[in-house]
Structure 1
Amino acid sequence: MSKRITDIVRELVTPIVEEMKLELVDIEYVKEGKNYFLRVFIDSETGVDIEECGQLSERLGEKLDELDPIPYNYFLEVSSPGAERPLKNARDFEKSIGKNVAIKTYEPIDGEKQFEGELTSFDGTHVTLNIKIKTRIKEVTIPYEKIAKARLAVSFNF
């Protein structure tokens, strides 16, 4: 198969997601133990509910049954990415300015590879965070291409 399964699924699900006025956050196809899972994560400005997940699952399931691009039996899961949703692209970073994020980098920056703080700016090439260290705030700038993983981070202010 020349195309990756996630690419095929993206082509199938994108028109459905757009028609439903939802956002496609991520797609993953993984083997866990003996089972394969195809996971589709969706969101919207107001969040998603179980009915929207069910509708998308049903519609995508029909398309997958027609095309049959996956050679193994699998479980299809459609859900929200949750409160700590991944930041996968520039648009996600732009939408997350002012929010608390967690970032892991490919290589150390100022001796660290993990950062958590308020995303204060994103210019397309650099991400700037305000990180609280005890009682002071430190500004850290991270080159976008050095980010291995990023997600929203839930913070508990007491």
Structure 2
Amino acid sequence: MSTTQSDRLRALLEPLVSAEGLDLEDIEVSRAGRRRMLRIVVDSDEGVELDTCAELSRAVSEKLDETDVMGEDEYVLEVSSPGADRPLSEHRHYVRATGRLVKLQLHADGAASELIARILTVDDEGLDLEVPGVKGRKPTARRVAFADIAKARVEIEFSRKDKKEEEA
């Protein structure tokens, strides 16, 4: 996708997405056989419901039909929320992952290392983490600066308690 098309799509779709109280995370145009696929990824602090994706999909489709930003070729439109395994790259991603277990690839002092820990708090400089104890040891606290994070991704926890369960 050309930068011009990407910029035009973002400028066209950002107001529609924002009007729904969502963040436009990604726009991707790719080939799927003879057709093109337009994939729009949206998110919010509360997550995204299927009905919201459907409503936004209809609004985006109408808006795209009014313009020539996608050209004359056929395309398939997909509006979705980010998957559980998407990378954490923006400050808001870390804030949304507070309380979750994350896998961090760090690059401090020229050496690469990996860390799995739970995000306790997020501020402008970095993360306060709880590193799980190993072999019966207690968890330990650790501070990681954003500048030291090469990659980050939420770890899937099948036995994790939901926030609502913890509050009850």
Q: Given the two structures, how large is their TM-score scaled by the length of structure 1?
A: 0.71
Pairwise CA distance, 1:119: 0.9
User: Quick check: 131-140 or 91-100, which moved more?
Assistant: 131-140
Alignment of 1:50 onto 2:50: yes
Q: 1:117 to 1:4 in 2, by over 3 A?
A: farther
Count of residues paired in the alignment: 156
Unaligned runs of 5+ in 1: none
Task: Indicate the SS of the match to 1:69.
Answer: coil
Q: Which residue of structure 2 aligns with residue 63 of structure 1?
A: 63
Q: Which residue of structure 1 aligns with residue 147 of structure 2?
A: 145
**Deviations 1:82-130 (CA, angstroms, capped at 9, x unpaired):** 444543321232333222223334x367954433220123231222322
CA contact (8 A) 2:10 2:27 kept: no
**Deviations 1:10-66 (CA, angstroms, capped at 9, x unpaired):** 322222122223x22511315366464322222345443333212211211222233
Q: 1:156 aligns with which of 139, 155, 158?
A: 158
Pairwise CA distance, 1:2: 7.6
Between structure 1 and structure 2, the one with the greater Rg is 2
Q: 1:83 to 1:92 in 2, by over 3 A?
A: same
Q: For residues 123 and 44 of structure 1, what CA distance do their matches in structure 2 show?
A: 18
Query: Residue type matched to 1:151 in 2?
Result: R
Alignment of 1:88 onto 2:89: yes
Report the aligned-residue RMSD. 3.3
Alignment of 1:101 onto 2:102: yes
Q: Which residue of structure 2 aligns with residue 7 of structure 1?
A: 7
Q: For residues 38 and 113 of structure 2, what CA distance do their matches in structure 1 show?
A: 30
Query: Residue type matched to 2:94 in 1?
Result: F
CA contact (8 A) 1:5 1:29 kept: no
Q: Given the two structures, how large is their TM-score scaled by the length of structure 2?
A: 0.68
Unaligned runs of 5+ in 2: 161-168
Q: 1:125 to 1:44 in 2, by over 3 A?
A: closer
User: Quick check: 28-37 or 50-59, which moved more?
Assistant: 28-37
Q: Which residue of structure 1 aligns with residue 76 of structure 2?
A: 75
Task: Indicate the SS of the match to 1:87.
Answer: coil
Pairwise CA distance, 1:133: 4.9
Q: Percent identity?
A: 30
Greater strand share, structure number: 1
